[in-house]
Amino acid sequence: MKKLIVIGVTTLTALFAVLGFAPSANAYPQTSCKVSINAQKVFEGTKLHVTGEVQKVVTDDGLGRAAATTNSWIAEFNGETKTTESDSLDVTFDVPEVDAKTVLTLHVQAIMPDVTDGCDQSLNIT
């Protein structure tokens, strides 16, 4: 009988330890964004068309506070930076002339006014 009680107490203790140390869920989902380009492989003298959209997180804590409708976007490619203030990103970059196969990085950042973190994505363009 003592063994059964000890096994039961040990099992309950382990169960409570696992449940007690489980990470807490965030009150709001993680911010995410989707960035698309017209081609992963581009040729010199052509255009790179970049679009992006962000997952909207609407918050309401009973005080009527809600997410703003405008985001700030920053897109950087080959030393050129373009910014927009809108719900979505839609910009075009000129692909430079190169002498050999080159990998250029496109970096896009979406900054939402109602969250402390933004959404960063980098894509390698060859």
Residue where the block lists tokens 């581009």? 42
- For residue 92, name the pLDDT band (cuts at 50, 70, 90): very high
| Three-state SS sequence of 49-112 | EEEEEECCCCCCCCCCCCCCCCEEEEEEECCEEEEEEECEEEEEEECCCCCCCCCEEEEEEEEC
* C-alpha to C-alpha distance for 21 and 59, rounded to whole angstroms: 27
The answer to whether domain 28-125 has CATH 3.20.20.140 is no
pLDDT per residue as tens digits for the range 49-59: 999 987 765 55
Which tokens belong to 17? 């330890």
- For residue 87, name the pLDDT band (cuts at 50, 70, 90): confident
Which tokens belong to 95? 């692909």
The full set of domain ranges for the chain reads: 28-125
pLDDT per residue as tens digits for the range 17-47: 655 555 555 555 556 778 899 988 888 889 9
* C-alpha to C-alpha distance for 124 and 35, rounded to whole angstroms: 13
- Which residue would you say has higher pLDDT here, 118 or 25? 118
Q: Write down the pLDDT at residue 44.
A: 87
Q: What is the pTM of this model?
A: 0.65
- Does residue 38 contact residue 49 with C-beta atoms inside 8 Å? yes
